[in-house]
Structure 1
Amino acid sequence: MRPSPGIRRFFRRAARDTGGAAAVEFGLIVPMLALMVVGIMDVGLAVHRKMQVEHAAQAGAEYAILNGFDASAISSAVTSATSATGITADPPPENFCGCATSAGVAPLTCGTTCPGGAAAGTYTTVSAKATYSTIINYTVVPDAYTFGAKSTVRLQ
């Protein structure tokens, strides 16, 4: 059975008619572009939040270098290091003695001698933590991320 001539004419005209094609293409592309822009903004804001947490831990360590170990004052320096809210000194700052090694600081009893012959130094570890929540729910990634940073400095 062959289609009627009227139906054939309709499909030929529709195939040649390009009016409105740009609007249809625009309507199909815009939602994808908008999602890409929002996703890029989300990644940028998350990276910025991570940098704020790292800065807060470093600010607490700098406070300890200048003023000595005071857990509550260092915690306050961490939380007030940036204008961002929700940054905490978690776990709280800790003070310990140890010897510097290639892998970090090996904890030792204060007053003991390090393997190289030097006296064990006093160190402070400052931690900062904050949570970042995404702008929209992407369903394939978590809605929130917790960022943490730690800075260890020698006080003496």
Structure 2
Amino acid sequence: MRAAIGDKRGVAAAEFGILIPILSLMVVSVTDIGLALYRKMQVENAAQAGAQYAIARGFDTSGISNAVTNATNATDITASPAPVQFCGCPTSAGVSTVTCGTTCTGGAQAGTYTTVSARATYYTLIDYQIVAASYTYSAQSTARLQ
């Protein structure tokens, strides 16, 4: 009996058996965060691809939407809301919408712009119970066409 009390064989295996569920959850959680960030980057890149299409080929709603959906290998990225074309003047806060033909502050004519949006939803690998099971990412990209 005394020999069994001092015997430490198998302790490492028992500790490993206790810790493996915690370590597995940590690996899955870190992987899940990485995949969520990757989906966010895909949405941002898709919006930029749509704006680049509009710059290169002009405003074409279906062409821009196709550029957004085909920008990445993700199948659930959509051009939502649909691309819009508008006249605007650049300001320090962005582009303000004005009537076409308006003279902007500084004397330049209002330019033609497009705003392209992309959206996708990411679903977590497991249900964590303390955070949402899905996240919707959206991005916009505005570019001057003329």
TM range (shorter): over 0.9
Give 5+ residue unaligned stretches, structure 2.
none
Partner of 1:87: 77
SS at structure 2 position matched to 1:28 = helix
Question: CA offset at residue 93 of structure 1?
Answer: 0.2
TM-score between both structures, scaled by the size of structure 1? 0.89
Matched, 1:53 2:52: no
Residue number in structure 1 paired with 2:106:
116
Within 1, Cα distance between the matches of 2:22 and 2:73? 33
Q: Which entry has the higher C-alpha Rg, 1 or 2?
A: 1
Please report the RMSD computed on the Cα atoms of aligned residues, expressed in angstroms.
Answer: 1.2
Secondary structure of 2:68 counterpart: helix
1:20 aligns with 2:7: no
**What amino acid is the match of 1:127?**
S
Cα deviation code 1:115-137 (max 9, x no counterpart): 11110011000000000111111
Structure 1 unmatched runs, 5+: 1-9
Matched, 1:101 2:101: no
Paired-residue identity, % = 64
Aligned partner of 1:40 in structure 2 is: 30
TM-score (norm 2): 0.95
From 116, 131, 140, the counterpart of 2:130 = 140
Question: When the two structures are aligned, how many residues end up with a matched partner?
Answer: 146
